[in-house]
Amino acid sequence: MNQTDYATEQGLFRLGDQRWPNRAELQVRSEIIDPFSYAATLQGFTTRNVERTFGTHSLDCALLERTDPGTMSGPTQYCFEHTGSALRYTRGWGWFQTMYNDVFSFQGRSMAREVNVTDGGKPYLKLRVKTIESVANIDAKDLAPQPTR
């Protein structure tokens, strides 16, 4: 899928694929741009910090657990490197688990070049960042809608 949405005073426009994204394609945005979006919607949870081991790696994790003792569910988890603030693993809605690997710094932010999402332990989505770069000059005319024919 290749799609760019942009808005101007004349309305909302889309370049590229005109269809709406499917479930997996929508997941890409959450996993790359806003991995904490699910946690922001939660209510009635407490936080507990634990150390978890993944193979040979050990991470500091924040578990978000329901405060209602009658509710059964696995906790939402966000795990980070011991030595920094880079997000390395999440367990969010349902059975989704996400691993962030090959982490690097770009403009003061940690980013992963490899993102692997599983659903119920089965591969669901694999993302590979090939290039990331800042935009040097932005000209408003480059964002103007193309004339319709």
Digit-coded pLDDT (tens) for 62-108: 988 877 766 656 678 999 998 888 999 988 766 788 999 999 888 88
The pLDDT > 90 percentage for the chain reads 17
Average pLDDT value for the chain: 82
Going by the DSSP 8-state scheme, the letter that residue 139 receives in this structure is -
Q: Is the model's pTM score more than 0.75?
A: no
User: Do the bridges between strand 122-128 and strand 45-54 make them parallel or antiparallel, or are there none, so unpaired?
Assistant: unpaired
pLDDT at position 148 over 70: no
**1 part of a folded domain:** no
DSSP-assigned beta bridge partners for residue 122: 119
Task: Please give the tally of structural domains in the chain.
Answer: 1
**13 part of a folded domain:** no
Task: Please name the helix (run of DSSP H) or strand (run of DSSP E) that holds residue 64, with its range, or none.
Answer: strand 57-66
139 compared with 53, residue with greater pLDDT: 53
**73 part of a folded domain:** yes
Q: Are 117 and 24 in contact (CB under 8 A)?
A: no
């694999």: which residue's tokens? 126
Q: Considering only 28-37, 91-100, 126-135, which range has the smallest mean pLDDT? A: 28-37
pLDDT band at 143 (very low <50, low <70, confident <90, very high): low
Q: Are 21 and 45 in contact (CB under 8 A)?
A: no
Distance between CA 125 and CA 50 in Å, rounded? Answer: 27
**101 part of a folded domain:** yes
CA dist 55 to 50, 73, 78, Å? Answer: 16, 24, 17
**93 part of a folded domain:** yes
Task: Please name the helix (run of DSSP H) or strand (run of DSSP E) that holds residue 27, with its range, or none.
Answer: helix 23-32
29: nearest Cα among 65, 3, 6, 53: 3
User: Do the bridges between strand 11-16 and strand 109-119 make them parallel or antiparallel, or are there none, so unpaired?
Assistant: unpaired
**12 part of a folded domain:** no
pLDDT at 93: 66
**15 part of a folded domain:** no
Residue 143 φ then ψ, to 5°: -100, 0
pLDDT at 69: 65
Q: Which domain holds residue 67?
A: 34-130
136 compared with 46, residue with greater pLDDT: 46
**26 part of a folded domain:** no
